[in-house]
Amino acid sequence: MSTALSPGIVVAVDGSPDSSAALRWSAHEAALHRLPLLLVHVLSADVTVAWATAVPAVPLPTEYFEGQEEQARAVLADAEALAKDAGATEVTTKVIQAAPVPALVDASREADMVVVGSRGHSAVKRLLLGSVSTGLLHHARCPIAVVSADADLDRPDAPVVVGVDGSRASEPAVGIAFEEASMRGVELVALHSWSDRSETLHPYVEWEGVRAQAEETLAISLAGFGERYPDVTVHREVVFDRPAEHLLERSESAQLLVVGSHGRGGFAGMLLGSVSTAVVQAARTPVIVARRR
């Protein structure tokens, strides 16, 4: 096993179906970008802390820790085999004993990307976005990819879709989307919504009166990327409102969805934007949330 977190793509693995889907997607991504793949299994300290609180006079038996280590090595061995079968060539593994979110946030400081399954083993966590993925989306220091076990990973000719709102937060998302489309040799769909409102505003505002403004915002946001990525064909789409709904609809026929971490009017350090939250929660397509370092 590696002794340090190396730059490249870091994947959190726990043996769950979502983790396996994230691993297969990451292996393809690593091969595509010629990046090393680091598989991380986090042994949470929660049980140790709970035991020490409940039974302070009796330490956990050594057999417990040995069993945890053995199980972690087995999970990582299976994950490494799966990653190599999926196309990754440079794969290392690491067991970390820490709280999962801080451990992966720390890994994100040096990683090119951190990839997680949308939910872990816990049945409770399957009801909502998993606690680890949620924590990373709020605190990571690099782009985060979230992959669901339901994701269709076999769409090599499908486009990449990016949500563009004209804010600074969406700039990294646009850059990532162009690079991913170029590397994959597919088209890019850039979607901009004039309003972030989840309910329709059509009865109150005339769409034709603001369409030109929306198209100009999208054009400005894409300016310069066409010259850097002349091989990428871009389809520009502007919609009136309900951006999350439109992005999810486009993602049904895409191979990747890219969004910013927060939208218009946002500020550094704020919680994940409502549009980003909605698409990560519901998308059946891999999603990259473009967080700044």
Which amino acid makes up residue 65?
Answer: F
Contact 249, 280 (CB under 8 A): no
pTM value is 0.84
* Model confidence pLDDT, tens digit, residues 50-102: 444 445 555 656 665 566 778 888 999 999 999 999 999 999 999 988 888 88
> What are the percentages of helix, strand and coil residues in the chain, rounded to 5?
40, 20, 40
C-alpha pair distances (Å), 53 with each of 56, 60, 192:
6, 11, 51
Sorted by where each starts, the structural domains of the chain and their CATH numbers stand as: 9-147 (3.40.50.620), 160-290 (3.40.50.12370)
Which amino acid makes up residue 72?
Answer: A
Contact 67, 6 (CB under 8 A): no
CA-CA-CA-CA dihedral for 92, 93, 98, 101, to nearest 10: 70
pLDDT lower than 50: segments of the chain? 1-5, 46-54, 121-129, 265-271
